[in-house]
């Protein structure tokens, strides 16, 4: 197939860890790469956010995947919540490009705004289009309330996209349920999870027994909804532990980051400041060694559309204590690969961590199970194979084709 992916704000070429660069960038890069390896021609369309002299129109990501920088709006970084006004121009440019270079067989949009551009460009030539939302406005609004900076039209536009897409690829069962509540027809929803690079993310050759102080690790963008404050608060009841928080801007810029400052002040006020370490942004290739260096990985968001970091930890053979929300309900198996605890509950988190650290054999055993499960269910090869089956289904005019995990 000629597959056009549209990922308006999340470029597969971007550095990760910044406010708007995380799992979606990883997902698009890995899925595009694997689909190309399966013989498809893949183009990823993303918004130009630097002048053309620094960001050529077309860049090869690797063999078979071309990244196309679309001129839509100013050629500089703009927060994703301010990109809606440029989606019409994005869609127009897609139409022109397809008229020039040939029509794709199928379009796979990532995130709701990409869905708008894709739907517009696909309408006239009648190209089938699929969408992976990555996050849903209705869930964000529920949890963030007035702090939600999404455009006010988001909820209604997502509802429309959900009822008109030829295929919706949900990344977890919780998202599929949300989509059904939004009015998406069940026969157009396929659940295909995000994946993990199980070669890059692999266990240490010789796993260490837990140390004292035990090393806890949280990875993620420094945004309040990642619930890093819950992990900091839990430390109060866990005197023999240290917490490393990885992510955010580069280390030298952490002082200017509002969330890093807030977390530091909180840790100091709680008397645990000397046990919380901020690394700032970590190069993605260095992430595996970071997971391997941890005794236990925490993922404590308020909500999480999917959450790649718990999967990366699992692939590195680490048990995870996570919030019982969103994608974690599928990726962390309570009592087998880690523990699920209520979100925003430092006490429950601390007691699950203490129990796990108290039993090194169980911790190691759960880490092994987590690795095995990551390899069989979440390797990108498998995820790409399932995505391919779903996309082929819409190209051939069938509804959501779901290949079992
Ligand atoms: N990540 C990274 N460096 C950082 C912080 C994060 O490479 O400093 C990567 C991390 O390994 C994971 C992704 O960014 O692959 C975060 O994805 P996730 O789905 O957990 O969260 P999102 O940022 O999409 O909400």
Ligand 1 proximity of 219 Cβ (cutoff 6 Å): yes
How far is the first Cα of the chain from the last one, in angstroms, to the nearest whole number? 23
Ligand 1 proximity of 249 Cβ (cutoff 6 Å): no
Ligand 1 atom 14: the closest Cα is on which residue?
Answer: 22
**CATH architecture, range 2-195+379-395:** 3-Layer(aba) Sandwich (3.40)
Count of Cβ atoms closer than 10 Å to residue 265 Cβ:
11
Ligand 1 centroid–CA 293 distance in Å is 17
Burial of 230 (0-12, 13-18, 19+ CB in 10 A): buried
Ligand 1 atom 24: the closest Cα is on which residue?
Answer: 23
Ligand 1 atom 23: the closest Cα is on which residue?
Answer: 22
CATH topology for the 214-378 domain: Rossmann fold (3.40.50)
How many Å apart are CA 398 and CA 383, to the nearest integer? 20
125-160 in b/e form (b: 16+ CB < 10 A) is eebbbbbbbbbbbebbbebbeeebebbeebbebbbb
Ligand 1 centroid–CA 220 distance in Å is 5
Say if residues 5 and 40 touch (Cβ distance below 8 Å): no
Say if residues 340 and 322 touch (Cβ distance below 8 Å): yes
Ligand 1 centroid–CA 102 distance in Å is 34
Ligand 1 proximity of 308 Cβ (cutoff 6 Å): yes
- Residue indicated by tokens 């509802």: 159
Ligand 1 proximity of 368 Cβ (cutoff 6 Å): no
Ligand 1 centroid–CA 164 distance in Å is 30
Global ipTM: 0.98
According to DSSP, the β-strands at 320-323 and 129-132 are unpaired
Provide CATH 3.40.50.2000 ranges for the chain. Answer: 2-195+379-395, 214-378
**Residue pLDDT tens, the chain, 405 long:** 999 999 999 999 987 656 667 889 999 999 999 999 999 999 999 999 999 999 999 999 988 999 999 999 999 999 999 999 999 999 999 999 999 999 999 999 999 999 999 999 999 999 999 999 999 999 999 999 999 999 999 999 999 999 999 999 999 999 999 999 999 999 999 999 999 999 999 999 887 776 889 999 999 999 999 999 999 999 999 999 999 999 999 999 999 999 999 999 999 999 999 999 999 999 999 999 999 999 999 999 999 999 999 999 999 999 999 999 999 999 999 999 999 999 999 999 999 999 999 999 999 999 999 999 999 999 999 999 999 999 999 999 855 555 556
pTM of this prediction? 0.90
Ligand 1 centroid–CA 327 distance in Å is 14
């Amino acid at each position: 197939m000629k597959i056009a992916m549209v990922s308006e704000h999340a470029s597969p070429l971007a550095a990760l860890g910044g406010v708007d660069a995380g799992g979606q960038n990883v997902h698009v890069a890995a899925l595009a790469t694997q689909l190309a390896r399966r013989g498809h021609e893949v183009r990823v369309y993303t918004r130009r956010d630097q002048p053309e002299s620094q960001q050529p129109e077309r860049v090869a990501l690797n063999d078979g995947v071309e990244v196309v920088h679309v001129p839509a709006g100013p050629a500089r970084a703009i927060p994703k919540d301010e990109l809606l006004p440029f989606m019409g121009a994005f869609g127009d440019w897609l139409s022109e490009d397809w008229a020039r270079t040939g029509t794709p067989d199928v379009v796979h949009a990532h995130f709701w705004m990409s869905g708008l551009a894709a739907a517009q460009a696909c309408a006239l030539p009648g190209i089938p289009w699929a969408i992976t939302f990555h996050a849903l406005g209705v869930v964000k609004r529920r949890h963030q309330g007035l702090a939600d900076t999404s455009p006010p039209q988001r909820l209604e536009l997502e509802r429309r996209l959900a009822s008109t897409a030829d295929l919706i690829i949900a990344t977890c069962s919780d998202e599929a349920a949300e989509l059904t509540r939004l009015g998406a027809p069940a026969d157009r929803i396929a659940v295909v999870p995000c994946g993990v690079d199980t070669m890059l993310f692999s266990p240490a050759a010789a796993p260490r027994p837990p140390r004292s102080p035990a090393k806890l690790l949280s990875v993620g963008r420094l945004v309040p909804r990642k619930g890093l404050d819950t992990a900091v608060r839990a430390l109060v009841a866990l005197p023999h532990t240290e917490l490393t928080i990885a992510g955010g801007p580069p280390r030298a810029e952490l002082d200017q980051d509002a969330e890093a400052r807030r977390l530091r002040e909180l840790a100091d006020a709680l008397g645990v400041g000397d046990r919380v370490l901020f690394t700032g942004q970590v190069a993605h290739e260095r992430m595996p060694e970071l997971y391997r260096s941890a005794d236990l990985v925490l993922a404590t968001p308020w909500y999480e559309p999917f959450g790649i970091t718990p999967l990366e930890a699992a692939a590195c053979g680490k048990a995870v204590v996570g919030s019982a929300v969103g994608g974690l309900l599928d990726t962390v198996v309570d009592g087998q690969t880690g523990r699920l605890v209520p979100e925003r509950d430092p006490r429950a988190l601390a007691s699950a961590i203490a129990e796990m650290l108290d039993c090194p054999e169980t911790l190691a055993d759960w880490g092994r199970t987590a690795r095995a499960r990551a390899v069989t269910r979440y390797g990108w090869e498998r995820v790409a194979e399932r995505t391919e089956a779903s996309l082929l289904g819409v190209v051939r005019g069938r509804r959501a084709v779901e290949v079992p995990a």
